[in-house]
Structure 1
Amino acid sequence: MIVRIVKMSFEVSKIDVFLKNFNHNKDKIRTFEGCEFLELYQDKTNSAIFFTYSYWKSEEDLERYRHSDLFKMVWAKTKPLFNAKPEAWTVDKVATLK
């Protein structure tokens, strides 16, 4: 399993547009083959910064999603809303404590 973390910073006036698009597509993303978990976080001190946090069965599954029509459609609507270049990390989970 891999974890994908994406940091996105938006124009404040565009946050509602982003959230509407995310909420419209979150179930499609979550049920995309290979996606096992999806969360969206908003920064406590800067409300224009968001993070997606997702679990994928494999890097191949993540890449399949990143080349899918769903991703292209979501990203096409999201990209114009940014006020800074997004950052992304693909990481291996080392430990989980509950």
Structure 2
Amino acid sequence: MFVRIVKMGFYEENIETFLANFDANKEKIRSFKGCKFLELYRDKNEPTIFFTYSYWETEENLENYRQSEIFKNVWAKTKPLFNIPPIAWSVDKLETLS
């Protein structure tokens, strides 16, 4: 299992559109085969910056999602809203403390 973190910056006037699109699709994303966890964060100091944080069973599962109609539809509506290029990281979780 690995973690996918995506940083996205939006024009202020596009934030509500992004949030509505995320809300409309979050269950589909979370239910996609191999996705085990999904969260959305907003930066405390830069309210136009958001992060998605998701757990995936395999890189193949993530790649299948990225080739899916769900992703293509979400991305087509999200991409024009950006004010900076998105940045994505795939990382291995080494430890969790609760």
TM over 0.5: yes
Kindly report structure 1 stretches of 4+ aligned residues shifted beyond 4 Å: none
The answer to whether residue 94 in structure 2 is matched with residue 94 in structure 1 is: yes
Structure 1 residue 14: deviation in Å?
0.3
The answer to whether residue 25 in structure 2 is matched with residue 25 in structure 1 is: yes
CA distance in structure 1 between the partners assigned to 2:96 and 2:60 by the alignment: 23
* Partner amino acid, structure 1, of 2:52: T
Structure 1 residue 41: deviation in Å?
0.0
- Report the counterpart of residue 77 of structure 2 in structure 1: 77
Gaps of 5+ in 1: none
Structure 1 residue 50: deviation in Å?
0.1
CA distance in structure 2 between the partners assigned to 1:46 and 1:19 by the alignment: 16
Give RMSD over aligned pairs: 0.3
- Report the counterpart of residue 12 of structure 2 in structure 1: 12
State the TM-score, normalized to the length of structure 2.
0.99
CA distance in structure 2 between the partners assigned to 1:64 and 1:91 by the alignment: 18
CA distance in structure 2 between the partners assigned to 1:76 and 1:87 by the alignment: 17
* Partner amino acid, structure 2, of 1:15: I
| Structure with greater proportional strand content | 2
The answer to whether residue 68 in structure 2 is matched with residue 68 in structure 1 is: yes
- Report the counterpart of residue 57 of structure 2 in structure 1: 57
CA distance in structure 2 between the partners assigned to 1:85 and 1:7 by the alignment: 9
